[in-house]
Structure 1
C-alpha cells in the first residue's frame, strides 16, 4: 500500500488528523501494522514478526449508519462500528493495516470478518468454544502456530523462539504496569478518577510502541502514588467504589464512566477486556515451549464466549474483595448475546456475596444517555 492519506482525510477534526499523521509516518519508515479485534489475539506473535499491533474495535456511533447499509441494524454496535470504519476509511489504523487478525468469538464478529475480508486482508483465528477438553488447548496451539506461519510468509521473516521470549518480556512489563496502575485504586480514596482510568487503559490498544506505553504507565503510577502520599487526589473520600464488568467499555466511556463520576461514584476496578482480568495473566517467559506458553495464556482469557465460564465469576468475586467494591455495574452492549445470557449468573454470584448489582443494556447511541444516567444515579444513591 502507498503510504498516502486516504481521500477522506480532510473530513476529520484535528485529533483524527494527528492519528493519521502518526501512523502514516510509521508506515513511511517501513513499519508493519497488524490490526486486531480481541483480547484472544496472541500479540507476542505479531510483535515477534517485527510488526506493531493495534486495536481496531469500533468505539464510535459515527460509522454505524454506513455499516447498516450492509449489516443488519439489530447487531452489536461494536461490530457495526468496526466494519463501518473499514468501509468508510475513517480509521487511520484500519486504513494503514497490512493485515487484520480476527477470531471466531461471537457470531456477529465471525460473519462480519467475511465481509471485512473483501475490504482488507483479514486472517481469522478459530477459537475453541471452551477450555475443559484436552483437544481444545491443542487446537488453539495449532491456530497460534498457523498465525505465526502466516506472518512469517507475509512479512518474509523468521519468528524465532528468542523473538517470542523477548516479545513476552515486553508484554509482561506492560501487564505489570497496568496492574500497578490498577493497584492504586485499591486504597481509599483511589488515585484516579473513572474517566482518566478508563481512557488511559483504552489508549493502550492504540499504542505502536509497547515499551513506551509501559513506561508511560509506570511514570503515571509513580506520580499518582506520590500525590496520594501527601493526601492529594482527584477522588473525594466518600465516593462509592464500583466495579464495571461486561462488554468492552470504549464506546460507552462517557455514558457510563463519566456518568459514574458525576453521580458520586468512582470505577476502582474495570473488569472488561482492558482491565485486570486480562492484565493479571502473564506469559511464562521461561517455558520450554514458548509458543505453547503464549497459546495457553491467551486461551485462559475468561470472556463470555467460553462455555463453561466459571473462571470469570470467580475472578469477579475475588476482585470485589480486593478492591473493596460497593457495587457492580455490568455493561451489556445491545445484541451481545453471550454477555447478556451470562449476566444472569454474574448477578446471582455478585448479589449472593452481598454486593449490589446493576445491569445496563445499552449501545453507542446517546439517545438513552438520560435513562442510563438516571439508573446509575439511583444505583449509587442506594449504596
Structure 2
C-alpha cells in the first residue's frame, strides 16, 4: 500500500455530492423516501429508522443568489440566500427529490426563509430552544423530537419500532466514531493529510446514503492512513503551521479559506465547524430511552445560537491542546450575527491561552480570494 493509493480514496468522498445526484434519483426510483435537512441539530436517526434517506440541503455557492434576492434581502446571510435560491430554481437535485424538508429555528433569517419555502415545498420546522441550561429547554426539545417522529410516521405511512430506532442510533454512533477516529489522525505531527483532503471526507460523507457501506469506506480510509503513517510516509511538511478553523459552516466556495491557509505554509488540522468536529463529538446514549437520548445529545451541540454557548468554548479549548494548534482562524459569513458577535468571546478565549487568532468575514463570491490569501498569509507568517 503506497501513498498514491490515497487520493482515490479521498476523491471518492470529494465526488460524493455530485455522484449523489444520480444516487438519490436511483433511490427515489426504487421507492425510497428522502428527507432534506439544513442543520446538525436535526435528529437524522428518525429518518434512518423510518427507512428514509437523509441529505443535507445547505448550499455553498452564489449561483442562485441573484434569483433568491428577488425575494430575500440582499444583505442576508449567503447560506440562507443560496439555499432558498437552489430551492426556488429547482437547481438542487437533493432539494427537488426531498419528500420532506426539515428546518430548525437556529436563526431569525432561516426561520423566515422556511415560511417562504413552505409555499412550494413540504416543510417541517423544529422549534429549537435558545439555551442548553434549563429543564424547560430540555423538555421543549424532547417534545420537538417526538413531534418530528410523528410527522415522519404520518408522511411516510410507517410506524417506527423500538428496534428500528435503536438500530439507527447504533449505526449513526458508529459513523460518528469513525469520523472522529478519522479527523483525530491529524493530531499527529505532521498530520497524515492536508486540510483540503480532510474536508473532502468530512463534507462528502454526508452524500453517501448507504450508511453501512459508508462506514466500511471510512474504515478503509482510516486504515490506509494509519498504514502510511506506520512506514513513516509524510505528505505534509513538519514545519507547517497547524491551524484550527472555527465559525460558520464551511464547504464549497468557502474552501477558499483552506486554500489560502495551505498555500501560505499552513495546514488545517481540524474543523470545529458544523461540517467537521462539532457534530461528531457527542454520541447518543444507547442504554437510555431512545428519544430522550436523541434529544439530549443533539441539544448539547455547541452552536453560536445557544446562550450562553459554553459548549463551544469548552470544545475549542480542548481542540487547541489536542491538535497542538499554532493558530485559530474563524470564518464568519456576512450577516451571520450570532457568530459575528461571538467572535469577541472566542478571541478572548484564545488570548487567555496565548493562541494566535484571526477572524475573517466572507461570502460565496470569489472576489475576495486574493485579499483572504494576503491576510491569512500574513497571519501564518506572524506565527512562524
- Provide TM-score, normalisation by structure 1: 0.94
What is the root-mean-square deviation of aligned Cα atoms in Å? 1.4
The secondary structure found in structure 2 opposite 1:184 is helix
Q: Which whole-Å CA distance do the structure 2 matches of 1:249 and 1:136 have between them?
A: 28
Residue in 2 that maps onto 1:333: 333
Residue in 2 that maps onto 1:297: 297
The secondary structure found in structure 2 opposite 1:190 is coil
Residue in 2 that maps onto 1:6: none
- Deviation (angstroms), 1:131: 1.3
Give per-residue Cα distances to partners, 1:153-200, cap 9 Å, x unaligned.
111111122111100100001001111111110010001101111121
Give per-residue Cα distances to partners, 1:204-252, cap 9 Å, x unaligned.
2222122222222111111011111112132111111000000000144
Does structure 1 residue 357 correspond to structure 2 residue 357? yes
Residue in 1 that maps onto 2:245: 244
Q: Which whole-Å CA distance do the structure 2 matches of 1:342 and 1:207 have between them?
A: 33
| Change in 2 beyond 3 A, CA 1:255/1:344 | same
Residue in 1 that maps onto 2:9: none
Residue in 1 that maps onto 2:4: none
Structure 2's unaligned 5+ residue stretches are 1-14
The size of the alignment, in residue pairs, is 369
- Provide TM-score, normalisation by structure 2: 0.94
- Deviation (angstroms), 1:19: 4.0
Residue in 2 that maps onto 1:255: 256
Give per-residue Cα distances to partners, 1:5-29, cap 9 Å, x unaligned.
xxxxxxxxx9987543221111001
Q: Which whole-Å CA distance do the structure 2 matches of 1:312 and 1:49 have between them?
A: 31
The answer to which of 185-194 and 201-210 deviates more is: 201-210
2:254 and 2:364 in contact (8 A); partners too: no
- Deviation (angstroms), 1:261: 1.3
Q: Which whole-Å CA distance do the structure 1 matches of 2:145 and 2:342 have between them?
A: 27
1:19 and 1:92 in contact (8 A); partners too: no
Give per-residue Cα distances to partners, 1:290-328, cap 9 Å, x unaligned.
110001000001100000111111110111000000000
Residue in 2 that maps onto 1:115: 116
Q: Which whole-Å CA distance do the structure 1 matches of 2:16 and 2:269 have between them?
A: 28
Does structure 1 residue 91 correspond to structure 2 residue 92? yes
Relative contact order, CA 8 A, sep 6+: which one is greater? 2
- The 5 A counterparts of 1:1-383 are 18-287=19-288, 289-383=289-383
1:173 and 1:214 in contact (8 A); partners too: yes
Give per-residue Cα distances to partners, 1:25-72, cap 9 Å, x unaligned.
110011110000000000111111110110000111111111111111
The secondary structure found in structure 2 opposite 1:47 is helix
1:78 and 1:251 in contact (8 A); partners too: no
The secondary structure found in structure 1 opposite 2:186 is coil
Q: Which whole-Å CA distance do the structure 1 matches of 2:91 and 2:302 have between them?
A: 31
The answer to which of 268-277 and 331-340 deviates more is: 268-277
Residue in 2 that maps onto 1:9: none
Q: Which whole-Å CA distance do the structure 1 matches of 2:45 and 2:347 have between them?
A: 35
